[in-house]
Amino acid sequence: MLSGCLSVLFLIAAFSLVAHSSPLIPRRIPHETRRAAPFGWQPVRRAEPSTILPLRIGLAQSNIADLEFYLSDVSHPDSPNYGKHWNAAQVTDKFRPAAEAVETVRAWLSESGIHAQRTRLSASGGWLLTNVTIEEAEALLGTEYYVFQNAADSKEHVACDSAYHLPEHVSKHVELITPTLHFDIMKSRPMIKRATRPGFGSGPQIGAKIDKVFNDLAHCDEQITLDCLRTLYNFDYTFVNTKKNSFAIVEYTPQTHNPSDLDVFFGNFSKSQVGERPTLISIDGGVLDSSGSLGESSLDLQYALGLVGKNQEVLLYQVGDEVVGGSFNNMLDALDASFCTFEGGDDPTQDGIYPDTALGGFDEPENCGTVKAADIISTSYGYDEADLTPFYMIRQCNEYGKLGLMGVTIMYASGDDGVAGFGGVCLEPNGTQALGASIFNPTFPGGCPYVTSVGATQIAHGNPVTAPEIAAADFASGGGWSNIFAIPDYQKSVVQSYLREHPPSYPSDIWNSTGKSRAFPDIAGNGVNYTVAIDGEFVPIGGTSASCPMTASILSAINDARLVRGKSPIGFINPTIYSEPFRGLFNDITTGSNPGCGTDGFSVERGWDPVTGLGTINFPKLLDAWLALP
């Protein structure tokens, strides 16, 4: 079961606690542990005992161990229930925590001096909330809180030390408690790209101004354009059922775009779309500010809009205001009220908390279940797994699975640093992230088994657009094996085949060689030398930040074709694309690797591999295969 996947942890140390002998004190066990603070953070002093913490206790969800089964039931082509997606009420009811969980945790709080009038239950029933002092929290959780400081910007943050503990009878009813081990990594480290800082993001790689822009297919190895992509993936489709079909791109403030750049781009590559704009869906104060970072959003929107064409609306989920920003959980809150952190689910140390009363902040309640999830949602951002705690990631990953149950395709970029984390950071044996370390550092959410992880390819320099692509060589496409999540059933066969036929020669102590963990990416797409308009000029941009929204755009056409025929959206695609009926329908990539951490990384081979997944989109073949499904 994926939600109980801590058994496959590669880097989380085993931890034991000797209980006090007093019969009045129940045996306490470590609930969450952290081997090292995230990259750049160091403890500088103990936290003040009187400081108030908004303690949020995430209750264990009912039936969560069966999420993979439920998801496969509506997502595997061999299932009689394929495409029969659940509605939001069904999902909420199925996973609502049991009354026993609520009663047990409330009783523990009361016995610990946190009386009932100080606690409240969230609207979804999933969270218990209470305000406590640092002194109370330390006694309650058997831990110590420190003020940590970030070396890059001197930002301070309060978090507990290496572990917190719960009574054994309580622990089984709790997923996680915040704020504890979790850090505001998002603001100090941008998301998946080579941005100016390491961190919350896979920033795209932006090159120098292009002096001469080509509009023909003869230079696709130097400059990728809309026509290059259409040719590469045999993509020739006009959207029809656009009122039912929906497709969204997620951006996180301060990432933004300049609308006039869309017209510069369309004026050169798709003149009929001049004046076209995405539909802005503001989440927690998300705004378009042309003074922000333009690379990611410009890349995503110019190619998403250009590929789907003028008939199909593209939604822009702009998350977070200009003061606090936002996180994946803020986006999930807006899509699903049962997850809503306004009622207690957000980690105030990890996620943007609203209302934001700072000058210029979003001073209204956060968006809570107010946004209908699009059929396909593409996100080009991510973390390193080592930035977060396992329970935090598992909780979020399960939410992606719930969206899959409702027919939503969630796609994430796999990262741009090969087997290393963002910025080339790898792991030391003690779990510390460092440049020059040797242990592979996988990304999240790409390693979540309930998302589709997208790697990157390119046209080899000097090759025509008709030649087979290779794995991205201008940067290293992220991929490998998760240290957190168990391998899902849908990919066991191909992953075991890769490990059997092409066993990596690296020592088992620098990568998760067990064969029992989630492997990624699932698929890939071209991600090198996209011609993008920024501030009125064209520049080359690359990264899995490019390949992910591009691939999502093409898959949106398959949704359109199915909806025209009265069928459901493709939903969570992983069980389908790994299935026998889809074998050989992707363009297999057989050349390349993804170096990092002082190694050559993993090799690209025939069939699935941990660099390019199953390969790139072959639109006509995949369209026919999906239309053949009910």
Check pLDDT > 60 for residue 526. Answer: yes
DSSP 448-495: -TTSEEEEEEEPPTT--TTSPPEE-TTTBPP-EEEEEEEPPGGGHHHH
Q: Is position 558 annotated in a ligand binding site? A: no
Looking up tokens 């019969």 gives 23
Q: Tell me: is residue 607 an annotated ligand-binding position.
A: yes
Instruction: Decide if pLDDT at 358 tops 50.
Output: no
Q: Residue range 187-195: average pLDDT? A: 34
- pLDDT at position 252, please? 80
In this prediction, residue 254 carries a pLDDT of 66
pTM: 0.86
Nearest to 284 by CA among 328, 248, 247: 328
Q: What is the pLDDT of residue 38?
A: 84
Could you tell me the two tokens for 604?
């690209």
What was the pLDDT predicted at 303? 98
- pLDDT at res. 324: 40
Q: What is the Cα–Cα distance from 454 to 296, expressed in whole angstroms? A: 16
pLDDT at 24: 55
Q: Does residue 216 have a pLDDT over 90?
A: yes
pLDDT of residue 320: 64
How much is the pLDDT for 351? Answer: 43
Confidence of residue 1 (pLDDT cuts 50, 70, 90): very low
> Number of C-alpha atoms within 13 angstroms, CB side, residue 284?
36
Distance of CA 480 to the CA centre of its chain: 15
Q: Percentage of the chain with pLDDT > 90?
A: 70
How far from chain centre, in Å, is Cα 112?
Answer: 37
What count of other Cβ atoms lies within 10 Å of the Cβ of residue 38? 25
Among 85-94, 203-212, 256-265, 327-336, the minimum mean pLDDT is found in 327-336
What are 419-451's pLDDT values in tens digits? 999 889 999 998 899 999 999 999 999 999 999
Q: What is the pLDDT of residue 200?
A: 42
Strands 41-46 and 201-202: unpaired
Looking at the structure of the chain, the number of domains it has is 1
Higher-pLDDT residue of 409, 341: 409
Which residue is associated with the tokens 């939600």? 3
The confidence band for 37, taking pLDDT boundaries of 50, 70 and 90, is: confident
The predicted structure's pLDDT at residue 366: 46
Preceding amide of 365 cis, omega within 30? no
Does residue 124 have a pLDDT over 90? no
Pairwise CA distance, residues 521 & 524, whole Å: 7
Q: Give the mean model confidence (pLDDT) for residues 96-106.
A: 96
609 is in an annotated binding site: yes
Provide the residue range defining the domain that includes 307: 1-236+243-630
Digit-coded pLDDT (tens) for 259-309: 999 999 999 999 999 999 999 888 865 556 655 556 678 899 999 999 999
Residue 54 has pLDDT above 60, yes or no: yes
User: Among residues of the chain, what percentage have pLDDT more than 70?
Assistant: 82
Residue 126 amino acid letter? G
- Write down the pLDDT at residue 20: 36
Backbone angles phi, psi at 249, to 5 degrees: -110, 135
- CA end-to-end distance (rounded Å), the chain: 28
| Active site (catalytic) residues | 296, 300, 545
pLDDT tens digits for range 454-512: 999 999 999 999 999 999 999 999 999 999 999 999 999 999 999 999 999 999 999 99
Residue 286: predicted pLDDT: 53
* pLDDT recorded at residue 126: 83
Contact 549, 456 (CB under 8 A): no
- DSSP alpha helices (H): ranges in 33-87? 67-75
Residue 161 has pLDDT above 70, yes or no: yes
- CATH number of the domain to which 342 belongs: 3.40.50.200
409-426 pLDDT tens trace: 999 999 999 999 988 999
Confidence of residue 346 (pLDDT cuts 50, 70, 90): very low
**pLDDT over threshold 50, residue 348:** no
pLDDT of residue 253: 72
Can you give the pLDDT at residue 573? 99
Residue 351, annotated as binding a ligand:
no
How confident is residue 186, by pLDDT bands cut at 50, 70 and 90? Answer: very low
For residue 123, pLDDT beyond 50: yes
More confident residue, 411 or 337: 411
CA–CA gap between residue 73 and residue 83 (Å, rounded): 9
Q: How far apart are CA 366 and CA 347, in angstroms?
A: 13
Whole-angstrom distance, CA of residue 549 vs CA of residue 380? 7
The angle subtended at Cα 501 by Cα 498 and Cα 504, nearest 5°, is 70
Q: What is the mean pLDDT of residues 588-617?
A: 99
Mean pLDDT of the chain: 86
Report residue 184's pLDDT band, with 50, 70 and 90 as the boundaries.
low
Q: How large is the angle between the packed helices 295-308 and 259-269, nearest 10 degrees? A: 40
Q: Give the residue from 582, 579, 584, 449 showing the smallest Cα distance to 79.
A: 579
